[in-house]
Chains A and B, each alone.
Chain A
Amino acid sequence: MTNLKRHLGALTAGVAAVALLAGAALADPAVIYDLGGKFDKSFNEAAFNGATKWATETGGKFQDLEITNADQREQALRKFAAAGFNPVVVTGFAYGDPLAKVAAEFPNTNFAIIDMVVDAPNVRSVVFDEHTGSYLVGAIAALKSTTGKVGFVGGMDIPLIHKFYCGYKQGVQAITPGAEVIENYTGTTPAAWNDPVAAGELAKADFDRGADVVFAAAGGSGLGVLQAAKDAGKLAIGVDSNQNYLQPGSVLTSMVKRVDVAVENAFKDGTAGGTWTSGIQAMGLANQGIDYALDEYNAPLITDDIKAKVDDLKAKIIAGEIVVHDYSSDNSCP
């Protein structure tokens, strides 16, 4: 008899736990942006767009937060998890360490992180094949360049941005062997994501050195590169979001990372009616997670020849005929 009671007790506790879990699964999702802010017209804005799309399609509500300094990451994560938001999506590699800590503290909350791998049973890590997308825009840059010199302005000097550079360089040199790619970084601290003046000066320096296309992989700082390209009558390539519309005629194309799709999927899978999967989720050319942008703003710049050539390269990469070296695989660029 006592045995039965104990079993019943365990059963009730189990049911309660399941109910609690279900309750958590029905909670509102949340997204926390990285430094650079929600409306950086780039990486974070893409995340916001994905969340908004989910909200308008499902009629659901979501919570979001812009941190203003690096120390707020862990605090914000813990606060959102404790407040019962589920899933909690964070954008940016810098959330890696805080998330590893907080995810262990809240095993019943699902988390997703963009651009970083966090190995925990309740974390979905979304990573992008930036190298293949950068390869394509590099090819476009080389096809468009008349000087045989192109530039690259990265944000913070970190391996993730080297991955962009490395793919870009390979794409440029696939079209024009031996072409010079000028490599710059805005800075070495997170402030480098938000320094359009420095990024603009770097772009001007590249133009002065003979480059006529500059790829900005620098978050909010990239706006300075686009402006500099417009002022100098040269071309820039945007990143993360489609930035073609920002300076029409001066933005050759954008290397689009569908962060919006990643966030939207995480929201869909993590809320009622969805099935959450943890682990690594790779976004690449094949599943349209990465692409180059073509719209009415840059259509006059991308000739049919360029388009045909680039689409051919894209098909070859997807088919595996061209292998683009991934910087993050061995931290070096050929």
Chain B
Amino acid sequence: MDLDTIISVLAATLRLTTPLLLACLAGLYSERSGIFDIGLEGKMLAAAFAAAAMAAVTGNMWAGLLVGILVSIGMSMIHAVASISLKGNQIISGVAINFLAAGLTTLLGLTWFHQGGRTPALAEGGRFLGLDLPFAFELKSVPVLGPIYDGLISGHNLFVYLAFLAVPLTAWVLYRTRFGLRLRAVGENPKAVDTAGISVVKLRYQALLITGLLCGVAGAYFSIAQGSGFGNNMTGGRGYIALAALIFAKWRPVPAMFACLLFGFLDAVQIRLQGVDLPLVGQVPVQAIQALPYVLTVVLLAGFIGKAVGPKAGGVPYTKEN
């Protein structure tokens, strides 16, 4: 393992962590307000499709991103109406969102683009490309720090930086603002919040709005930044991994980032380890390497994080007493 290899693995880690982190923070807002959200996957998938479709038709990446976010917020609002206003079961509503997205994206993709559910590959301008940070090229020759700056920190697309900036922002909102205090309170004891004269329903709607926004950005990342165009089920269950990371992090923003980085790192290592001779063990079968992230998920969730207790009011629709 030389420095270049390490940098390349870590850079892949950042790329693979980005959608997990955005989805994980999305789930954090929702669950901290007392609404379980198993539909992160569906919202991301729908956003990925909408963003790719819009970017393919208009050739404009910003239009794609905007439409992706709007569609994701729309799905989030369906979840909100079902679980806040209509007091339905939040798990069932979330599952419905996932199925709706999986079916609709394929159906619309087939009808609109006739490419087996794929959207056309995006042209230049339809996709977010890597950004070179200032002086990346000039500093490249500086030993150790140069390659780290050039290979690891610079050269990612906008979404990667946004995702990591969203972590301190979320921490600040959650622990330092009035909205954050109320959000945490409404997830623990909605009655107290209500007694204080603050609308539980409004707060929860606001939380789900943010969830929709972040899922939309995560979805768009798949199809118009990391990839070029939408493919069937391209989110590949990462919404669930994000949910696992959220529980692993006990619903806190900074630990959530580390949990997502761990999963992203395992994914990156999985890709790099293929066909590599490891010391002592030799070449490991592809299947074993690909199972690694999931094995670690089970091990970590089962044994190493202690008791994870979610927000107390999670999953319970709030009913005002008369």
Which parts of B99-138 form the interface with A (CB within 8 Å)?
106, 114-118, 121, 129-130
Chain B contact residue count (CB 8 A cutoff) = 33
Q: How far is the CA of A202 from the CA of B304 in the complex (A)?
A: 31
Q: Which of B24-32, B89-97, B196-204, B229-237 contacts A (4 or more CB under 8 A)?
A: B229-237
B275 near A197 with CB under 8 A, answer: no
Q: Please report the total number of A residues contacting B with Cβ < 8 Å.
A: 34
Choose one: B227, B268, B287; the contact of A157 (CB below 8 Å): B287
- CB-CB nearest 9 A-B residue pairs: A37-B116, A208-B8, A39-B115, A183-B275, A184-B274, A197-B227, A227-B228, A39-B116, A201-B271
Q: Would B16 and A201 count as touching, CB distance under 8 A?
A: yes
Q: At the interface, yes or no: B5 with Cβ under 8 Å from chain A?
A: yes
A2 to B233, CA, bound (A): 68
Contacts of A74 in B (CB 8 A): none
Q: Find out whether the CB atom of B286 lies under 8 angstroms from the CB atom of A188.
A: yes
Cβ-defined contact, A36 with B116, below 8 A: yes
Q: Please give me the residue from chain A that is nearest to B122 by CB atom.
A: A227
A187 to B275, CA, bound (A): 13
Number of A-B contacts (CB under 8 A): 84
Contacts of B234 in A (CB 8 A): 195-197
**Across the interface, which residues of A come within 8 angstroms of B236, CB to CB?**
191, 195, 197-198
Seen from chain B, the residues whose Cβ lies within 8 Å of a Cβ on chain A are: 4-5, 8, 12, 15-16, 106, 114-118, 121, 129-130, 222, 226-229, 231-234, 236, 268, 271-272, 274-275, 286-287, 290
Which of B114, B121, B234, B274 counts the most A-chain CB atoms under 10 A from its CB? B274
Q: From B114, which residue of chain A is reached at the shortest CB distance?
A: A39
- List the B side residues contacting A201 at CB < 8 Å: 12, 15-16, 268, 271
Q: Which residues on the B side are within 8 Å of A223 (C-beta)?
A: 121, 228-229
> Which A15-56 residues have C-beta < 8 A from chain B?
36-40, 44
Which chain A residues (165-211) contact chain B, with CB distance < 8 Å?
A: 182-185, 187-188, 191, 194-198, 200-202, 204-205, 208-209
**B287 close to A227 (CB less than 8 A):** no
Q: Which residues of B contact A246 (CB under 8 A)?
A: 121
Closest Cβ of chain A to B278, distance in Å, is 15
Determine if A184 and B275 form an interchain contact, defined as CB atoms under 8 angstroms apart: yes
How distant is A205 from chain B, measured CB to nearest CB, in Å? 5
Q: How far is the CA of A68 from the CA of B287 in the complex (A)?
A: 24
B16 near A187: Cβ-Cβ < 8 Å = no
Contact B227 A188 (CB under 8 A): no
**B272, A196: Cβ atoms under 8 Å?**
no
Please indicate the chain B residues that have their CB under 8 angstroms from the CB of A133 in the complex: none
CB contact list, A263-279 vs B, under 8 A: none
Contact partners of B232 in chain A: CB under 8 A: 37, 194
How far, in Å, is B168 (CB) from chain A's closest CB?
27
